[in-house]
Amino acid sequence: MSTTIFVCGATGTQGGALINNILGSPSVKAHAVARDLSTPASLSLLAAGVTLFQGDFNDEASLRTAMHGCTALFINLMPNLADVTQELAQAQRLLSVAREVGVTHVVYSSGFSADHPERRRHYDPNGFVTKLLFSKQRVESAVRTAGFKYYTIIRPGNFMTNMLAPHVGVMYAGLVEKAEITTAFTRDMVLPMIDPNDIGRFALAAFLQPARFNAQEFEIASELMPFEDVVKAIGRVMGREVKINYLSQEDIDEQIKTNPFLGGQLMMRDMVECVDMDKVRAWGIPLGTFGEFLERESGRVKTTYGL
């Protein structure tokens, strides 16, 4: 039986990566919705042959139209801090339509430790990352118990695209403008970096081998990298050395009152402990590196850093 996957977020990073992998796999077709069909991302999907409909995760009728004929569903949703119930409501809508149209396999792309955020070293019950992770935890539970023949939950690490616009400006303020970062990270910190293309590879592999991936839930990363090496690599593309200012605990305690992003950075300190790279490699799926990512995305790198 041929596989037709409804891909959430096809115009975005993860969904776009899955689409790219699907396009290289002639036996697999992709359906998707986008809120605006006239954007460059939508137009390029249409040109590539993706069956794309105008639609919205909040609009059940549009999902029903777009998911008709699909055998598989890739869920990837945006958390909404202003309404932490939104992600689950959208997931339930997608799962319900998927059941109606006869989807047999659901793959959900979640986040590191979403099953147990409270085990993290810098867990803060009121932190915004905690809210995001619990939002994903509720979706994981909905996927697990939805009764599909096959389900898979992948939990990707720190996206390599976080070093590109528009994300880099939020996550690493000062890097692009001043080649300087001030952070709650530690000097020896290692980040589990994931090339979004590898999320696409894992998701497609799961859809192509549903029995092997059924009821599997696991963290994935492409490469473990000391944060200082990530910054050095960016410094090399910028052609200048990047200065990193590591905040003291006293400074963090003071600044976190007005800068919630520091809580996010604290949570990232032990991210690396969530992933077992031997287990990731054991799936036999090729993994990218940050160097290859920067090379492949050289156009976006140049735009981001004004080169």
Nearest residue to ligand NAP on Cβ basis: 12
Cα within 13 Å of Cα(98), Cβ side:
31
Q: How far is the CB of 120 from ligand NAP (least distance, A)?
A: 14
Binding-site member from 3, 11, 71, 183 for ligand NAP (CB under 6 A): 11
Structure tokens at 23: 């396009």
Contact between 288 and ligand NAP (CB under 6 A)? no
Choose one: 12-20, 94-102, 255-263, 286-294; the region binding ligand NAP (CB under 6 A): 12-20
User: DSSP class of residue 183?
Assistant: E
CA separation for the pair 142, 153 (Å, rounded): 11
Contact between 137 and ligand NAP (CB under 6 A)? no
Q: How far is the CB of 237 from ligand NAP (least distance, A)?
A: 19
Q: Which is nearer to ligand NAP, 9 or 117 (CB)?
A: 9
Residue pair 297/290 in contact (Cβ under 8 Å)? The answer is no
**Helical axes 128-144 vs 86-101, angle rounded to 10°:** 20
Residue pair 21/204 in contact (Cβ under 8 Å)? The answer is yes
CA separation for the pair 45, 43 (Å, rounded): 5
Helix (H) or strand (E) holding 278: helix 277-282
Residues 27-56 that bind ligand NAP (CB under 6 A): 33-35, 41, 56
Q: Which is nearer to ligand NAP, 167 or 243 (CB)?
A: 167
Q: Which is nearer to ligand NAP, 6 or 151 (CB)?
A: 6
Residues 58-117 that bind ligand NAP (CB under 6 A): 58, 76-79, 111
Contact between 263 and ligand NAP (CB under 6 A)? no
Binding-site member from 156, 200, 210, 264 for ligand NAP (CB under 6 A): 156
Contact between 132 and ligand NAP (CB under 6 A)? yes
Q: How far is the CB of 256 from ligand NAP (least distance, A)?
A: 20
Q: Which is nearer to ligand NAP, 12 or 243 (CB)?
A: 12
Choose one: 11-19, 20-28, 46-54, 272-280; the region binding ligand NAP (CB under 6 A): 11-19
Amino acid at 265: Q
CA separation for the pair 24, 48 (Å, rounded): 11
Q: How far is the CB of 132 from ligand NAP (least distance, A)?
A: 6
Q: Which is nearer to ligand NAP, 116 or 149 (CB)?
A: 116
CA separation for the pair 7, 14 (Å, rounded): 9
Three-class SS state of 292: helix
Q: How far is the CB of 211 from ligand NAP (least distance, A)?
A: 26
Q: Which is nearer to ligand NAP, 11 or 197 (CB)?
A: 11
Contact between 15 and ligand NAP (CB under 6 A)? yes
Residues with Cβ within 8 Å of residue 196, at least 6 apart in sequence: 13, 14, 16, 17, 156, 159, 160, 161
Q: How far is CA 258 from CA 98, 221, 253, 263, in A?
A: 42, 31, 10, 11
Which is nearest to 234 in space by CA: 194, 276, 176, 158? Answer: 176
Q: How far is the CB of 298 from ligand NAP (least distance, A)?
A: 19
Q: Which residues bind ligand NAP (CB under 6 A)?
A: 9-15, 33-35, 41, 56-58, 76-79, 111, 132, 156, 158-159, 162
